[in-house]
Amino acid sequence: MRCTECGEQLLAERAALGYDYCTSPVCQKKRYRGPKVTAIGVNKSADVFLVADDAEIVRRGEAGEFGKKNTSLGIDYRGAVATAPPPAAPRPIHPPALPTARRRPWSRQQEKVVRLYHDMGCNPKQILERAAVNNPRLGITAALIKDILATPERRSR
């Protein structure tokens, strides 16, 4: 069998696969039909491979499909809304008083027991069970355990 483009002898394998043209670059260029595989470089990831013809790749590129996408919300992601800024609160004439230390509604002994069991790795439920058995007179409750563990430790004076 002969190539339909140049007339050279066609390889038997190509003829068996159904081709009627040879593998020379001139014949391949004339007869090639079908999509091309195009690699598109992407920042900080692997390349994206597209299987498409040249016209489709050009069309998708012009449409901006391969351009950098701005996915950050930014400051004005909800759009510009024309509103007047809220009026500034008047400054107080006298400086505010320093905050007073809030009295904790538990005793030092209650805090000591709760923190001791917590440091041993007990969860609040286990702390409550152990305190009820070992220190019932302290009256430690689940709410008290939660409050003690939610505040910073008291410094020794």
Inside any domain, residue 127: yes
Same domain, 20 and 45: no
Inside any domain, residue 87: no
User: CB atoms < 10 A from the CB of 130, how many?
Assistant: 17
Inside any domain, residue 46: yes
pLDDT one-digit tens code per residue, 34-62: 677 888 777 777 777 888 777 888 888 88
Residue from 143, 90, 148 nearest 115 by CA: 148
Inside any domain, residue 82: no
Same domain, 6 and 25: yes
Give the pLDDT of residue 71.
58
94: pLDDT strictly greater than 90: no
Inside any domain, residue 44: yes
Amino acid (1-letter code) at residue 90: P
Inside any domain, residue 157: no
Which of 122 and 47 is assigned the larger pLDDT?
A: 122
Amino acid (1-letter code) at residue 153: E
Q: Which residues contact 31 (CB under 8 A, 6 or more apart)?
A: 5, 21
Q: Is 21 left (phi over 0), alpha (psi -120 to 50) or beta?
A: beta
What secondary structure does DSSP assign to 31-92, as a single string?
Answer: H--S-EEEEE--TTSPPEEEEE-HHHHHHHHHTTTTSPP-----TTTT-----PPPPPPPPP
- Range of the structural domain that residue 146 is part of: 108-150
Inside any domain, residue 100: no
Inside any domain, residue 71: no
pLDDT one-digit tens code per residue, 98-120: 565 567 788 889 999 999 999 99
In the chain, the number of structural domains is: 3
157: pLDDT strictly greater than 80: no
